[in-house]
Structure 1
Amino acid sequence: MTVVRNTDLVAPPKRRSFATLSSGISRWRVPLSILALFFLPWVLPSEALAVNVLIYGLVAVGYNLLFGYTGLLSFGHAAFFGAGAYATGIAIGAFGANWFLAMLIGVVFSGLLSALMGVLAIRTRGIYFSMVTLALSQLVYYTALQASSWTGGENGLRGFTVSTLNFPGFSVNFLDPLVKYYAIMVVVALALWFVSRVLNSPFGAVIEAIRENETRARACGYNVERTKLLSFILSGVLCGLAGTLSALHLSIVPLDSLHYHTSGLIVMMTLLGGAGSFFGPFVGALAFLSMEDIFSLWTSNWQLIVGVIFILFVLYLPKGIWGTLISWGKAR
């Protein structure tokens, strides 16, 4: 007769300890993400690269909310990024708005645009949804191209600069690269806190249910179309917020910020980092921008090298860098 000891029923210590660690990381994911971003300019070769990681990481966070958590593949998110940047630049350059009001205008404009595009796009599914978002995004691109008196046309929007961020009682020198980084990081930190709250809410559970099985979510009584639309709008607002930060950072808004090429970059960054993971978008933005920074010094055809690396990731690391690390940790 085999004697079953109590010790045989106890989970392996390593597995149990990792589960506890994973739960703690998930609970403190916002502070840990902010802590990692805090030290970023000290480990990267330049503050400008660190700022770009912040901005494009935030774009990828917004896109990840729609693709990674809701399961909707969009090819048109450059419209929201560029719209936020253009609205902010026009508000400052043409109407003399202060930086905060200009950012608010950019975010609201991106939200209205995402609501309009979302109403049209969520009527479709699968690849048709992707193609509709791509077509609508290109419509926004050509509208900006033709409205050259407002947008600058092919030359992009210029003629505005934000040198200081004025607050009650003090001001911040926005021309100092390190100060600029931490000023932008405050906005990104607030956005991460907001996204975490959304994901931890009942709404976050519903969008993940739609991603896993849309038919079952509808059978459970959830309004799938309305939930998709709200997710689409929130995603567009976050991308628009990143666009406003980009406009303040560069003091120009290139027309390419609305092009489908930018939409493709957003998708690549999200997949490289790990779709459906909280910190993955920043890892993906860091990976892509670092490869661009390094390979562009070697050859003008750096995009070919990055493309090959991206293909290898899709084939062999479909969960992305951060997602793969998390999976390896759970398997140990």
Structure 2
Amino acid sequence: MNEISQTLVQTSAEPRNWFETARRHRALLGSLFVLVFPLIMPFTALAVNILIYGLYALGFNLLFGYLGLLSFGHAALFGTGAYLCGIAIVHMGLPWYAAILMGILGGVVMAAAIGALAIRTRGIYFAMVTMALSQCVFYLFYQAERWTGGENGLRGINVRIIDIFGLKFDFIHPLTRYYVVAAFVIAALYVLSRILASPFGAAIEAVRENEARARASGYNVTLTRLIAFILSGAFCGLAGALMALHLSIVPIEILHIETSGMVVMMSLLGGMGTFFGPFVGAAVFLMLENLVSLWTVHWQLIVGAVFVVCVLFFPAGIWGTILKWIKP
């Protein structure tokens, strides 16, 4: 009888062990998928866009999905990263890697500035404050025409050769461009995985679940919110810098409120609070945009209908629902 019970316990533990093993190695599994992703996409440029917007949504999801703060101002972080990367190349003549670091730093500084003003508010007030501050950033970059190009955007971000320790790669080649972007995305996946597995990752989820209990347990809730916002800004700044290199221009629309709304849709479509949800949401959104726009200029209507259906019938998002189905 004991042998039968032991066998049943081992059998029931196997799927749980499989799921936990996959969760522990989620960054590795995500990296492997990123490496083969362009092989299953219709064209490489779409795959690059999905990676970049997925990274942007990843940064937003750290704040929204894991901490529970809904921001309508993340376009400011994304756009600041893009503009500072472009300014570093066009106006300062810095190499591509220094420009990317400038973009990350820009996202961090902008997140610290916005976060310091917004994190003391809650709920809809936090969303409105971040949106208002984002619009201020939009106006600031719009007026700095000498540096940003104003209405025409910043042009001339031409990176043709990627030089890594003496090895030169043709950045114009689509696959080379994809894998350069993929290298940064893979690094970001590992960094996020370590953040979530750290005590700080437990702290931000504790604040999300019960702020009063987290404060009573000794957590500095205000500081936790600010650090999470700054980390979110680092990911979004990196995504913006990669977008500037990918497009060779930075359009002023990158700072528009629509860019903030788009990342909210991507996160909800994929599944907020999930590791791969932002990339799934970005893939669904961008593929729908590319496919439906071939048939009609009113593609937003179709994408909006799909979004409503997902919210009504898959409130956990596409990837979140899949996890619920396969989780033992």
Distance 2:151 2:50 in 1: 26
CA RMSD across the alignment:
1.6
Amino acid at match of 1:56: Y
Partner of 1:243: 240
Contact map agreement 1:18 1:329 (CA 8 A) in 2: no
How far off its partner does 1:241 sit?
0.3
Contact map agreement 1:89 1:253 (CA 8 A) in 2: yes
Distance 1:290 1:19 in 2: 33
Q: Deviations over 1:287-319 (max 9, x none)?
A: 111100100001000001100110111111011
How far off its partner does 1:280 sit?
1.1
Q: Deviations over 1:225-270 (max 9, x none)?
A: 0000000000011000000000011100011110110011111111
Contact map agreement 2:138 2:255 (CA 8 A) in 1: yes
Work out which of the residue numbers 131, 137, 140 in structure 2 matches 1:140: 137
Normalised TM-score (structure 1): 0.95
How far off its partner does 1:6 sit?
5.5
The percent identity for this pair of structures is 55
How far off its partner does 1:16 sit?
3.4
Q: Deviations over 1:17-75 (max 9, x none)?
A: 32122101111101100111111111010000000011001001111111111111111
Work out which of the residue numbers 103, 126, 130 in structure 2 matches 1:129: 126
Partner of 2:182: 185
- Structure 1's consecutive aligned runs of 4 or more residues displaced over 2 angstroms after TM superposition are 3-13, 15-18
Matched, 1:52 2:49: yes
Contact map agreement 1:122 1:225 (CA 8 A) in 2: yes
Matched, 1:171 2:168: yes
Aligned length: 328
Q: CA, structure 1 residues 160+316, in 2 after alignment: closer, same or farther (shift >3 Å)?
A: same
226-235 or 137-146: which moved more?
137-146
Distance 2:120 2:43 in 1: 44
Distance 2:6 2:312 in 1: 39
3-state SS of paired residue (1:278): coil
Matched, 1:90 2:83: no
Partner of 1:223: 220
Distance 1:69 1:167 in 2: 35
Which ranges of structure 1 fall in alignment gaps of 5 or more residues? Answer: none
Partner of 1:290: 287
Contact map agreement 1:146 1:153 (CA 8 A) in 2: yes
Normalised TM-score (structure 2): 0.97
How far off its partner does 1:10 sit?
3.7
Which ranges of structure 2 fall in alignment gaps of 5 or more residues? Answer: none
Partner of 1:256: 253
